[in-house]
Structure 1
Amino acid sequence: MSSTGLTIFDGAVLRSIDLNLPELDHGVTGSQLLELSESKVSESLSGLSLPPHIKEAAISRVSAGGDDVSFRRTELNREQATEKFGVFVSAVADALTDTPVVVSILDGSTLKLILEDEDDFAMLAEHLFTDLDEKDKGKLPKSQLRKALSLMGVDMGVPPLSDFPILDDIIKKHNADGDEELGQAQFAELLQPILQEISDVLHEKPITIVQNVEIFNGSRIRKVLADEKTLKCLVEKTVLEDSNGKDNQGRADLIKTLIMKNGKELGLPPVSSENESVALLYETIQSQLNKRDKEPSDASTEEEFMDALKDVLTKFAAMLESTPVYSTTNL
């Protein structure tokens, strides 16, 4: 699924991948199978290179947690290789379900839209020129075009040089790397064909950029709810910390404290997020907890407290499942 220009790989697309490998008309080594498996999975994920931790988890499952080196040397017949390929795909799908990867697929379409609208392009060029002309000279050296592309960034369809090395060739091809100074109109005139060529190249061969965005969709909360031991440990830790404080908290207050202090472990988006939907999420839960405070109840037993906590977390999970929250990470 996609949102605001982002594509989320959560493993769903891999659940229906064709496990038939016509390439395996004869036996292969474990090393060859892993290479083929990674290529096939990447192809199904729009060319996404598997993050190291996901790749390692898949290899570990394929080799049954044994010696990776030994598995790579193992000779596999067609049936064995097909089975192991299925294990690899399943492992990647499971990892993406637990921790979805958020990406931008740059195919030139965003740049095409900008270039097709003269007013949009003129406004973009003007803003870039103004931002770069810090001394208000009304002139910029050609070399600043490189920085202009960097300022546009992935959000506007321009990939970073590290992922798109041909960008350097495009800049040099249009003689946009010198010290000659340009006025605003000249700047826009040179920027336009550069963006057009970037768009054309991406249209022919789109690239996938992993975004430093974390998705909160309730899946981790449900995993915690299913793990009674982990949940009890969090409760005991919170109760212990509370007992060392000045005041003993009621059930609703203790739940609030637990959620605020252990949000990450519970799979909740950070309270400090500037995302409006996050603030609304916490306000809704806060309102429900305040309502609980006014209702007469016997909060004396651990079982009753756990039931109340699970109820709150279940509601959190349901809200996030219907409206996932995206938060920038520091990865």
Structure 2
Amino acid sequence: MSDGALQVLDGTHLRDVDLTLPPPPELHSALSGAYILDIAHSRVSASLFGLSLPQRLTATALTRLPAASDHHAFRSAEFDLEKASQILRDYVTAIADELKDNPLVVSVLDGSTLNLLLEDEDDFAMLAENLFTDLDVEDKGKISKSQIQNALSQMGVDMGVPPFSEFPQLNDLLRKHGADGEEELGQAQFAQLLQSVLQDLEEELSKKNVVYIHNIQIINGSKLRQVLGNEEELNSIVVKVLKEKAEAKDGLGSIEIIRSFLEKNAKELGLPRSEANEAVVLLYDDVFTNVAKAKGSAELEKEELVKLVKDILERLAEQLQSNPIFEEA
């Protein structure tokens, strides 16, 4: 796997998770809820490149599990092997469903990007020169050894370097190479030290990958589909649209008012923000232009407005399912 490349974890990786439970530790003994969760987390993590599962993901998935309505009681409760196996299946399914609704975007850092960089002498020399120039803010032609840490931070995930917060072993590597002192280095010395640190980092990552979760949200229409399946919530949207319609300036039609409302309440409805990027603007333009052609400009009563709002949301959900929007969370 090429590290640094974005991977989308949307639950599909969990289709082949081993859902068999090992026998209870003691003959005829039961399995606790905590034990079942630990097994589930271990199996899921192994299927997701060794990702340490975010607490938000596991907590939300647990709310989907009927047997765990009381989380604290569930962890200490004991179950026979058959019931425990069912809970394991249900919980892994709940995690997969949560990832389907709210996918994670990750990079798997395994040292391969660093390997390519270090193998190309010209590319590495140019990188080292650029980093040195950026860090030599006083233009002295020398920088301290400790600036290696800033160089690694500047390289970042895109170049295969994990954040220090995700990979504390980086501090050990810096100490190993004496890159935590204030001794000053010229450009050639800096490049040599950086190369040594990166070679060791590549080796460490090849042994144990780091899975980095990006602060990216994928808008894929899943939340919209939940809204469409909730008649009460749909009617609530229409009531709010009607209120805005009553307060709107003359000349604004129902479709324009609906678009304005959806754009203002995009986050709550699971829609992308219209200011996020050009693709979002094109999405809204396409959907609302087609709706306007189909529906015309006639003013609508509440019942017709419900149908119109539903039609618009269905079109948006369909488009987002086919072409999800990535935006900063």
TM-score (norm 2): 0.89
Q: Is the 8 Å Cα contact of residues 234 and 262 (structure 1) preserved in structure 2?
A: no
Question: Which residue is equivalent to 2:31?
Answer: 28
Gaps of 5+ in 2: none
State whether residues 23 and 81 of structure 2, in contact with CA within 8 Å, keep that contact through their aligned partners in structure 1.
no
* 1:4-83 paired onto structure 2 within 5 Å: 5-24=5-24, 26=27, 27-62=30-65, 64-83=67-86
Q: Indicate conservation of the 8 Å contact 2:218/2:327, yes or no.
A: yes
How much does 1:23 deviate?
Answer: 5.0
Question: Which residue identity lines up with residue 11 of structure 1 in the other structure?
Answer: G
User: Which 5+ residue runs of structure 1 have no aligned equivalent?
Assistant: none
| Match in the other structure for 1:280 | 282
TM-score normalised by L of structure 1: 0.89
Report the Cα offset of residue 239 of structure 1. Answer: 2.1
Q: Distance in 2 between matches of 1:45 and 1:57?
A: 18
Q: What is the aligned partner in structure 2 of residue 203 from structure 1?
A: 206
CA contact (8 A) 1:31 1:73 kept: yes
Q: Distance in 2 between matches of 1:312 and 1:104?
A: 35
Equivalences for residues 112-261 of structure 1 within 5 A? 112-247=115-250, 249-261=252-264
Answer with 62-71 or 164-173: which moved more: 62-71
Partner of 1:314: 314
8 A Cα contact 2:110 2:209, kept in partner: yes
CA–CA separation in structure 1 for the residues paired with 2:62 and 2:263: 36
1:4 CA displacement:
7.9
Would the alpha carbon gap of residues 291 and 136 (structure 1) be closer, same or farther in structure 2, given more than 3 Å must change?
farther
Equivalent residue for 2:328? 328
Residue-by-residue CA offset, 1:154-181 (whole Å, 9 max, x unaligned): 2221111222111111111111112121
Aligned equivalents of 2:14, 2:262: Cα separation in 1: 33
Contact 1:48–1:208 (CA under 8 A) maintained in structure 2:
yes
How many angstroms does 1:289 deviate by? 5.4
For residues 66-115 of structure 1, give each alpha carbon's deviation from its aligned partner in whole angstroms, at most 9, with x where no partner exists. 43333223232221211111121111112112211221111111211222
Change (3 A) 1:123 1:276: farther
Tell which deviates more after alignment, 94-103 or 315-324: 315-324
Cα 1:313–1:60, aligned 2, differ >3 Å: closer, same or farther? closer
Paired AA for residue 209 in structure 1: Y
Take 1:303 and 1:63, find their aligned partners in 2: how far apart are those partners?
A: 36
Contact 1:34 1:59 in 2 (8 A): no
CA 109–280 in structure 1, closer or farther in 2 if over 3 Å, else same: farther
Shift, 1:141, TM fit: 0.7
Q: Which moved more, 1:296-305 or 1:232-241?
A: 296-305
Indicate yes or no: 2:113 matched with 1:110: yes
**1:35 Cα shift?**
1.7
Q: Quick check: 2:114–2:198 contact (8 Å CA) kept in 1?
A: yes
1:116–1:277 Cα change, 3 Å: farther
Is the Cα–Cα contact under 8 Å of residues 6 and 104 in structure 1 kept in the other structure?
yes
Amino acid at match of 2:9: F
Q: Say whether the 8 Å CA contact 2:3–2:113 is kept in structure 1.
A: no
Q: What is aligned with 1:305? A: 305
Question: Per the alignment, in what secondary structure is the counterpart of residue 153 of structure 2?
Answer: helix
Name the stretch that deviates more: 75-84 or 314-323: 314-323
Structure 1 CA distance for aligned equivalents of residues 288 and 121 of structure 2: 48
C-alpha contact (below 8 Å) 1:63/1:71 kept by paired residues: no
Cα 1:219–1:68, aligned 2, differ >3 Å: closer, same or farther? closer
Aligned CA-pair RMSD: 2.4
Report how many residues are paired.
325
The 3-state SS of whatever aligns with 1:8 is strand
Partners of 2:282 and 2:231 lie apart in 1 by 28
Question: Residues 43 and 130 of structure 1: is their aligned pair in 2 closer, same or farther, counting only changes over 3 Å?
Answer: same
Identity of aligned residues (%): 47
| Counterpart-to-counterpart distance in 1, 2:122 and 2:231 | 58
